[in-house]
Amino acid sequence: MRIKKRKWTMPFLNKFKEKQITLEDLETTKFSDLFGEKKIILEIGSGKGDFIATMASKYPEYLFIGVEVNLTVAAIALKKILDENINNAYLARLNVKDLLPKIPGESIHGIFLNFSDPWPKKRHEKRRLTHEDFIDEYWRILIKEGKVYLKTDNTSFFEYSLDKFRQYDWRVNYINYEYKGNEPFDAETEYERSFRREGLYIKRLVAIKGGRSHASK
Ligand SMILES: C[S@@+](CC[C@H](N)C(=O)[O-])C[C@H]1O[C@@H](n2cnc3c(N)ncnc32)[C@H](O)[C@@H]1O
């Protein structure tokens, strides 16, 4: 997402630290000590926060963490969470690559990948959020039968992701090339709204962590 850093970003983020997770926090506090026994759902690349704000309001029994590397976008999402008085949503304003190793095994209930950057060039493959290095980490942190929910407009990225999940023994139990936005455990994102307006097809899959006891490699 290309968005100019705005002047208010850092003062705003610094003012409302209690709803955020930063790398500095994770140097002094264990991830597991931050949220106790809560049922945690991650959205990786949460953008301006429409998805987690809606989901957190709809599903108070879960704790939602939006992971967003772009500070201005993260600040916009944080503002939404504060304005709407949502108490079961947090923002991890960092690169998910730095967050994943800090998350204990089998502690996350679900992961949403909504319109992740497709990184189409082969030389950028490792940046795709469904590269095996990432899905191996998702496998480690998810509880048994935990799910990855993926939506995208990009057919190549969709098929790449589908192949990766299958290759690494996930059970893909939902595949839809013309998703209408009608699943209950879901909410519309900013990108989705604009793609739907343009008439683009949205693809969706759900991959379930199966019964293996070790990571895929
Ligand atoms: C294409 S946008 C989609 C935003 C939102 N999910 C939506 O559907 O409207 C992708 C978002 O992922 C964020 N992002 C990309 N790579 C990331 C990473 N490694 N860690 C955290 N956020 C990331 C970008 O900054 C951007 O805001």
Q: How far is CA 100 from CA 21, 157, 199, in A?
A: 13, 22, 35
Q: Does 175 reside within a domain?
A: yes
Q: How far is CA 50 from the centre of its chain?
A: 12
pLDDT tens per residue across span 47-85: 999 999 999 999 999 999 999 999 999 999 999 999 999
Query: Any idea which residues carry the catalytic annotation?
Result: 117
The answer, yes or no, to whether residue 206 has pLDDT greater than 90, is yes
In this predicted structure, what is the pLDDT of residue 213? 44
Beta pairing partners, 203: 152
Query: What is the spatial distance between Cα 165 and Cα 162, in angstroms, rounded to a whole number?
Result: 5
Enclosing domain of residue 33: 21-208
Task: Report how far residue 151's alpha carbon sits from residue 46's, in angstroms, rounded to the nearest whole number.
Answer: 12
pLDDT of residue 91: 96
What is the pLDDT at residue 216? 40
Q: Is residue 213 part of a domain?
A: no
CB 66 within 8 A of CB 90: yes
Query: For the chain, what percent of residues have pLDDT higher than 70?
Result: 94
- Per-residue model confidence (pLDDT) at position 210: 82
Residue located nearest, by CA, to atom 5 of ligand 1: 47
pLDDT tops 90 at residue 186: yes
Which of 213 and 67 is assigned the larger pLDDT? 67
Question: What pTM did the predictor assign?
Answer: 0.95
Position 1 pLDDT exceeds 60: no
pLDDT band of 189, cuts 50, 70, 90: very high
196 lies in a domain?
A: yes
Tell me, yes or no, whether 7 lies in a domain: no
Establish if 3 belongs to a structural domain: no
Q: What is the pLDDT of residue 166?
A: 96
Instruction: Name all residues whose Cβ lies below 6 A of ligand 1.
Output: 1, 44-47, 67-70, 73, 95-97, 114-117, 189-192
**Which mutation among 20, 41, 46 tests ligand 1's pocket best, with the greatest number of atoms within 8 A of CB?**
46
Is 173 inside any structural domain? yes
Number of domains forming the structure of the chain = 1
From 78, 103, 117, 128, give the residue whose CB has the most ligand 1 atoms within 8 Å, as the site to mutate.
117
Residue that is written with structure tokens 């990432």 in the block: 134
For all residues of the chain together, what is the average pLDDT?
A: 93
Ligand 1: atom nearest CA of 151 is 8
Cα of 65 from ligand 1 centre, angstroms: 13
Is 53 part of a structural domain of the chain?
yes
Pocket test for ligand 1, best of 94, 115, 204 (most atoms within 8 A of CB): 115
In a domain, 203, yes or no: yes
pLDDT of amino acid 171: 96
Rounded to the nearest whole angstrom, what is the distance from the C-alpha of residue 44 to the centroid of ligand 1?
A: 7
The string of pLDDT tens digits covering residues 81-114 is 999 999 999 999 999 999 999 999 999 999 999 9
Cα dihedral sign, 157-98-84-36: positive
pLDDT exceeds 90 at position 36? no
Our measurement of the distance from residue 121's CA atom to the centroid of its chain's CA atoms, rounded to an integer in Å, reads 22
**CATH code of the domain containing 132:** 3.40.50.150
Collapsing DSSP to helix, strand or coil, 43 comes out as strand
